[in-house]
Chain A
Amino acid sequence: SQQGEEDPQALSIQEGENATMNCSYKTSINNLQWYRQNSGRGLVHLILIRSNEREKHSGRLRVTLDTSKKSSSLLITASRAADTASYFCATDAVQYFTGNQFYFGTGTSLTVIP
């Protein structure tokens, strides 16, 4: 079963606009990661935020994490047509005896219109 849930399921914006997608999860985590998946391709890691961090930046990406609400958001600024893809959050859940595990959400499909 999937750990997280992204919102919205689909998002369509104009090039140059900002895109915000949210992720909610269920259990305690070590860290939360965001991945991008272009159609028919594998997933590519974008950014990792640890459970003791609240905000992180990487280029045009900004990620926030609120562990009290068990939620995270991914902001893509100044979007480009090449940002069109599906975005997934993945929680690295604490598994005391078996190490760490990645659980993915349901994904947000982002379309950036040129």
Chain B
Amino acid sequence: EAGVVQSPRYKIIEKKQPVAFWCNPISGHNTLYWYLQNLGQGPELLIRYENEEAVDDSQLPKDRFSAERLKGVDSTLKIQPAELGDSAVYLCASSPGRGGTEAFFGQGTRLTVV
């Protein structure tokens, strides 16, 4: 069974440019998470989806970040425009459903804004 797939693995962009990250969760997993991880820190939740519904986006900086999960499967996280402080690793994870289950993580996308 394929794991959580993220692309691209690495992205370097100039500040003020847009960028998008893509995530394909494990088949059948209803819950999808986007996390941001700064160097030497733990992942911080940006948004969580239950199927196609964003049930918690309270930590998502909505002035520049947006996310969607069409048809409750793949998801895209977008930043427009990117700032220097957005340089980090963006992790996608999925889990089968609510309560008492583990999250499966993708390899992440390392974003560098120059």
A residues whose Cβ falls under 8 Å from a Cβ of B? 1-2, 4, 30-31, 33, 35, 41-45, 48, 50, 88, 90, 92, 95, 98-107
> Are A104 and B99 interface neighbours, CB within 8 A?
no
> Are A41 and B107 interface neighbours, CB within 8 A?
yes
Cross-chain pairs A/B with CB under 8 angstroms, 20 sampled: A1-B44, A2-B41, A2-B42, A30-B100, A35-B105, A42-B4, A42-B106, A43-B103, A48-B102, A50-B100, A90-B103, A92-B99, A98-B55, A99-B98, A101-B56, A102-B103, A103-B45, A104-B35, A105-B42, A106-B41
> Are A42 and B105 interface neighbours, CB within 8 A?
yes
Other contacts beyond A4-B42, A104-B35: 16, CB < 8 A: A33-B102, A42-B91, A45-B104, A48-B100, A48-B102, A90-B103, A95-B56, A98-B48, A98-B56, A99-B99, A100-B100, A101-B45, A101-B56, A104-B42, A105-B42, A107-B41
Residues of A within 8 A of B48 (CB): 98, 101
Q: Which chain B residue lies CB-closest to A46?
A: B102
Residues from 80 to 108 in B contacting A, C-beta threshold 8 Å? 91, 93, 98-100, 102-108
> Are A107 and B42 interface neighbours, CB within 8 A?
yes
Least distance between B26 CB and chain A CB atoms (Å) = 12
> Are A31 and B108 interface neighbours, CB within 8 A?
no
**Most chain B beta carbons < 10 A, residue from A43, A95, A103, A107:** A43
Residues of A within 8 A of B44 (CB): 1-2, 104
Least distance between A34 CB and chain B CB atoms (Å) = 10
> Are B50 and A99 interface neighbours, CB within 8 A?
yes
